[in-house]
Amino acid sequence: MNSPKINIKPFGVHSVLIEWPNEVSEIILEKILHFERFLTKEVFTNKEWELVPSYNSLLIINRTKQLDFQKLSSDIHKWYLQLKESPKPDRYLWRLPVSYDLEFGLDLEEVASQLHKTKEEIIALHTGATYTVFGIGFLPGFMYLGGIDKKLEMPRKATPRSRVVKGAVGIAGKQAGIYPQESPGGWNIIGNCAVPIFDASKENPCFVSVGDKIEFYKISKAEHDLCKIEAEVGIYKPEKIKIDA
Amino acid sequence: MLKVLKAGFYTTIQDAGRFHYRNKGVPVSGVMDEISVFKVNSLLENEESAAVLEITMTGPTLIFEKETYMALGGAKMSATLNNLPIQNYKVYMINKGDILSFGRLEKGFRSYLAVKGGFTSKQVLGSRSFYQPITKYNRLTDNDAVPFAVQEDFQPKISEIKVASFLDDSVLEVNKAPEFDILTDKQLEEIFSRTFTVAHENNRMAYQLSETIQAHTISMLTSATIPGTVQLTPAGKLIVLMKDGQTTGGYPRAVQLTDRAICILAQKKGGDIISFKLV
């Protein structure tokens, strides 16, 4: 596979940013994660380093040392050129239940009316796609999901809500997402997912990683309530399927 | 235990920060002014990562429920121990029942209270730093009790240090951030040739600046940010991300504050004046 070109930029004295072409692409994301894995295992093994992938970039931070940008930059180019295909890490498809009950889907009717569709058609479009996690940020456990059906694309709300509840399932432009906690937010809310995406009491607080896939399936309000109870007592296990590399 | 009699404006527990969860969207948090905290911790011969209280603007009233040693640093807040004035960067021996309180904010914005051995509240994801919802609370409230380690026969090697204060500094040294090179000459000139006023919208997540510079229509994909990143909004506002700042953002990252500049800004409040200098 030909490697897409990278561009390395200074970002203060403790970090450098590696950028790939400015596009949302599975191939680029795969390359970023592949390189991240290599760097984490072979180069930046010390606890001082942290790597943050997102869409078309990979940030490399060293929290204690001042970095020599020229030297690090030329090393990164060298490592990238030498990058070999390696066994892919485990990636998962997570199937998450969503209640589209109007109690949760605050904007569902508005979205349907704007897009000239029925509520059922909106739900079918939302549950019919497989989303890719292109980044996690904004809030702990907030996933930037790409892969929304073009027919569901709708701008974010003109006036953001000051309070969006935990688990709110939203769409905005080319993105889908779930609010992992209560927060202000401007996305169109069409349902709620009771599965806790982020749990600070767990050693791995967020079961999803950048590069994983997400699918939504529809459940009733009663099933949603049950899922919420199971999640609260800690027995809910999200459905996962290993993605074949 | 240290018991909170009156909470003050905004008092939190902070340590060096929460590392290795940025790829899950978790801010680093930790003390805003690392320089001052490093000094109070070293005065008490604590580890660098020992947790302290970060006291913002209006201080709390606190009662020590057991013996220890303490030191204050950072902002000057007219602190008293049992109603007697005390100084920053000096070790005080504490008896059970001693009351620490704060008065008028004289200089700076955030004061730090360290005790021998550090505060030993619960760690969440490897850090004691408050950040809701990672931690249950975002600040201390009346009647809270904060545990600290018992230390017997501590003999401070140095009981007091003179500290070159940077509380009056207003020049923030910066380096290039990823979108620096696509800013216009006018934007760069505006950033580096004028002063800016710290807006009243400022907290542990971000400091906004009141003045605007030339607007832009740069569109970019969401990408990583770190504390000290200065973002430029489409309307031309500058936002400086601080320790609780989000881990990714979609606005151009113009410049990056040095570690020292983060500490200087952390001691500023709404209405204060700052300027940027490229190093």
Residue (of A19, A18, A13) closest to A63 by Cα position: A13
Helix (H) or strand (E) holding A18, with range, is strand A15-19
> What six digits make up the tokens of A132?
């890719």
Size of interface A-B (CB pairs under 8 A): 121
Residue (of B171, B53, B164) closest to B112 by Cα position: B53
CA atoms within 13 A on the CB side of A22: 6
Q: Compute the nearest-CA separation of B124 from chain A (Å).
A: 7
B183-241: per-residue pLDDT in tens? 999 999 999 999 999 999 999 999 999 999 999 999 899 999 999 999 999 999 999 99
A183: contact with B, CB 8 A cutoff: no
Residue B53 predicted with pLDDT over 90: yes
CA-CA-CA-CA torsion sign (A79, A81, A85, A88): positive
> What six digits make up the tokens of A90?
């485990």
Distance CA B264, CA B166 (A): 7
Q: Which residues of B touch A180 (CB under 8 A)?
A: 25
B14: amino acid identity, one letter: Q
The number of residues in chain B equals: 279
In this prediction, residues A32-43 reach a mean pLDDT of 93
Residue (of A178, A243, A211) closest to A53 by Cα position: A211
Q: Which residues of A touch B220 (CB under 8 A)?
A: 22
Task: Classify B57 in phi/psi space as left (phi over 0), alpha (psi -120 to 50) or beta.
Answer: left
pLDDT class for B141, splitting at 50, 70, 90?
very high
Q: What is the ipTM of this complex?
A: 0.93
Across the interface, do A200 and B249 touch by the CB < 8 Å criterion?
Answer: no
* DSSP string for A170-223: EEEBTEEEE-SS-EEE-SEEEEE--S-S--TTSSS--S--TT-EEEEEEE-HHH
pLDDT at position B184 is 97
> What six digits make up the tokens of A6?
């990278």
Across the interface, do A47 and B19 touch by the CB < 8 Å criterion?
Answer: yes
Question: Do residues A35 and A58 touch, judged by C-beta distance below 8 A?
Answer: yes
In this prediction, residues A62-69 reach a mean pLDDT of 94
Q: Is A70 buried (19+), middle (13-18) or exposed (0-12) by CB count in 10 A?
A: exposed
Across the interface, do B25 and A138 touch by the CB < 8 Å criterion?
Answer: yes
B88-128: per-residue pLDDT in tens? 999 999 999 999 999 999 999 999 999 999 999 999 999 99
Residue A20 predicted with pLDDT over 60: yes
Strand pairing partners for B257?
B174
Residue A206 predicted with pLDDT over 80: yes
Q: Kindly state the DSSP code that residue A7 receives in the 8-state scheme.
A: E
Residue A245 predicted with pLDDT over 60: no
Across the interface, do A59 and B223 touch by the CB < 8 Å criterion?
Answer: yes
Q: Give percent of chain A above pLDDT 70.
A: 98
pLDDT at position A233 is 87
Stretch among A11-15, A84-88, B132-136 having the lowest mean pLDDT: A84-88
Q: Which residues of B touch A8 (CB under 8 A)?
A: none
* DSSP string for A51-93: EEEETTEEEEEESSSPP-HHHHHHHHHHHHHH----PPPP-EE
Q: Compute the nearest-CA separation of A118 from chain B (Å).
A: 32
pLDDT at position A30 is 92
pLDDT at position B154 is 87
The interface residues of chain A toward chain B in range 57-96, judged by CB-CB distance below 8 A, are 57, 59, 61, 63
A218-238: per-residue pLDDT in tens? 999 999 999 999 988 888 888
B235-268: per-residue pLDDT in tens? 999 999 999 999 999 999 999 999 999 999 999 9
Q: Is the peptide bond before B178 cis (omega within 30 degrees of 0)?
A: no
Contacts of A54 by beta carbon, 8 Å cutoff, 6+ apart? A134, A135, A136, A137, A144, A210, B221, B222, B223, B224, B248
Closest by Cβ to B224, choosing from A14, A59, A209: A59
pLDDT class for B149, splitting at 50, 70, 90?
confident
Q: Which residues of A touch B258 (CB under 8 A)?
A: 12-13
Closest by Cβ to A137, choosing from B176, B220, B247: B247
Q: Which residues of A touch B257 (CB under 8 A)?
A: 12
| Cβ density class A139-178: b for 16+ within 10 Å, e for less | bbbbbbbbbbeeebebeebeeebeebebbbbbbbeebbbb
Contacts of A20 by beta carbon, 8 Å cutoff, 6+ apart? A4, A5, A6, A7, A28, A31, A32, A56, A57
A83-141: per-residue pLDDT in tens? 887 667 788 999 999 999 999 999 999 999 999 999 999 999 999 999 999 999 989 99
* DSSP string for A139-163: STT-EEEE---GGG-BPPPSS-EEE
Instruction: Quote the mean pLDDT of chain B.
Output: 96
> What six digits make up the tokens of A123?
């739900």
pLDDT at position B139 is 97
pLDDT class for A1, splitting at 50, 70, 90?
low
Q: Cα dihedral angle (A54, A60, A64, A68), rounded to 10 degrees?
A: -150
Q: How far is CA B12 from the centre of its chain?
A: 10
Instruction: Please give the radius of gyration of chain A, using alpha carbons only, rounded to the nearest integer.
Output: 20
Residue (of A45, A39, A18, A15) closest to B227 by Cα position: A15
Q: Which residues of A touch B123 (CB under 8 A)?
A: none
Distance CA A60, CA A19 (A): 11
